[in-house]
């Protein structure tokens, strides 16, 4: 796959609050290659968004603090850049789409004002050039009558249309990396399908890499090439999408896969919920953060944080998992799948 466009190494981020220190991101490393879509999955508070906001230099410091790690992009460590240096990268080479298109757009400015700002700043367009460019972008993302609608304000657009405007804005400078933080969570399924198709088409055309943050496994299955699963601020498993869905090894990943109901299959008797509650990030348990909710828990689980181990030699893609019982789990799963043939 060539050289990664972004390399995050051993990233650690914490927040200092009145009640104590929240270790939001612990020892996260990942590579992102050109043209691929990396999914990041996890519950609320698992550190998905903080990881990416840190990469974009958008964590307010204080209360946030990058304890260690680096994020290599184009021979720069993004974490070392000054505010001014960052402005030449953020929005131009790395762009972001947020979850809520209503709050991400400024309600006081017309769509035109918000769109031309990007290209005037980064591409040195004149106002007239920038407006032409903006209209082209809106047409590209499928907004009908773009030339006349561009002077309207965000409240005159529907949720799906606003998200298209956000995507147009993000694509404005043809970025190398697009970070999409739950871009379709607030949208209806038919609109979600349109937006996912649009992102895929834009990626095919431009070859950009996408980091797709979501908690919806259905969306992961339909758009991501590789998936990283986070729990308690750590990476617990990573594999290519097919491998992850077919032979996940981490009990948390398995729990997530089992607890999601499917509309295309007859209902099972009961959903296999993961018992217990997500961890308190203020005082994470010693050892594996998932241990208190895990069926496979033994005493060793609480002794030390499990290392990420590479498994699965059958595929060329790397499959890493952080669980000391991964082998047992695999044996148990293959045994039980022999008993009950896959429906």
Residue numbers of the site for another protein (CB under 8 A)? 43-44, 158-161, 188-194, 196-197, 215-222, 241-242, 245-246, 255-257, 259-264, 266-268, 270-275, 277-278
For another protein, the closer CB: 124 or 261: 261
- Tell me how far, at minimum, the Cβ of 276 lies from another protein, in Å: 9
- Tell me how far, at minimum, the Cβ of 157 lies from another protein, in Å: 10
For another protein, the closer CB: 120 or 257: 257
For another protein, the closer CB: 127 or 205: 205
111 close to 154: Cβ distance less than 8 angstroms: yes
For another protein, the closer CB: 190 or 313: 190
Within 8 A by CB and 6+ apart from 144, the residues are none
- Tell me how far, at minimum, the Cβ of 187 lies from another protein, in Å: 9
Tokens of 200: 């895929």
327 close to 334: Cβ distance less than 8 angstroms: no
209 close to 177: Cβ distance less than 8 angstroms: yes
- Tell me how far, at minimum, the Cβ of 110 lies from another protein, in Å: 21
The sheet that has 76-77: what strands, in order across it? 20-32, 6-17, 64-73, 76-77
The DSSP secondary-structure symbol of 114 reads H
For another protein, the closer CB: 52 or 241: 241
- Tell me how far, at minimum, the Cβ of 244 lies from another protein, in Å: 8
CA dist 71 and 191 (Å) reads 33
- Tell me how far, at minimum, the Cβ of 64 lies from another protein, in Å: 22
For another protein, the closer CB: 114 or 253: 253
181 close to 211: Cβ distance less than 8 angstroms: no
Within 8 A by CB and 6+ apart from 112, the residues are 131, 134, 150, 151
For another protein, the closer CB: 18 or 299: 18
- If we measure between CA atoms, which residue out of 165, 207, 163, 202 comes closest to residue 182? 163
Q: Which residue shows structure tokens 């895929």?
A: 200
- Tell me how far, at minimum, the Cβ of 72 lies from another protein, in Å: 29
Residue 168 sits at φ, ψ, to 5 deg, of -60, -45
CA dist 41 and 12 (Å) reads 18
Q: Which helix (H) or strand (E) holds 272?
A: none
For another protein, the closer CB: 81 or 193: 193
- Tell me how far, at minimum, the Cβ of 288 lies from another protein, in Å: 16
Residue 211, classified by CB atoms within 10 Å of its CB into exposed (0-12), middle (13-18) or buried (19+), is buried
């Amino acid at each position: 796959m060539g050289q990664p466009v972004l390399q995050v190494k051993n990233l650690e981020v914490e927040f200092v609050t009145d009640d104590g220190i929240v270790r939001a991101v612990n020892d996260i490393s990942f590579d992102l290659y050109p043209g691929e879509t990396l999914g990041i999955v996890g519950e609320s508070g698992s550190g998905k968004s903080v990881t990416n906001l840190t990469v974009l230099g958008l964590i307010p410091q204080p209360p946030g603090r990058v304890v260690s790690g680096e994020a290599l992009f184009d021979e720069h460590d993004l974490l070392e850049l000054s505010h001014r240096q960052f402005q030449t990268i953020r929005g131009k080479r790395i762009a972001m789409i947020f979850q809520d298109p209503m709050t991400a757009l400024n309600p006081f400015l017309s769509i035109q004002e918000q769109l031309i700002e990007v290209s005037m700043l980064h591409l040195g367009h004149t106002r007239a050039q920038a407006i032409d460019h903006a209209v082209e972008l809106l047409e590209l993302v499928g907004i009908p009558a773009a030339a006349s609608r561009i002077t309207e304000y965000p409240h005159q657009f529907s949720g799906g249309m606003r998200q298209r405007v956000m995507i147009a804005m993000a694509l404005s400078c043809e970025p190398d990396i697009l970070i999409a933080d739950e871009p379709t969570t607030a949208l209806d399924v038919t609109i979600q399908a349109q937006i996912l198709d649009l992102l895929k088409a834009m990626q095919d055309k431009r070859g950009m890499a996408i980091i797709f943050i979501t908690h919806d496994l259905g969306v992961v299955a339909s758009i991501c090439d590789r998936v990283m699963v986070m729990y308690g601020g750590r990476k617990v498993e990573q594999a290519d999408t097919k491998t992850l869905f077919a032979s996940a090894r981490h009990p948390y990943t398995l729990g997530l896969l089992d607890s999601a109901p499917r509309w295309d299959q007859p209902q099972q008797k009961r959903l296999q919920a993961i018992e217990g509650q997500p961890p308190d990030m203020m005082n994470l348990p010693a050892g594996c953060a998932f241990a208190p909710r895990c069926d496979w828990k033994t005493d060793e689980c609480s002794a030390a944080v499990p290392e990420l181990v590479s498994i699965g030699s059958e595929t060329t893609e790397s499959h890493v998992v952080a669980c000391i019982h991964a082998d047992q789990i695999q044996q148990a799963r293959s045994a039980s799948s022999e008993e009950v043939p896959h429906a």
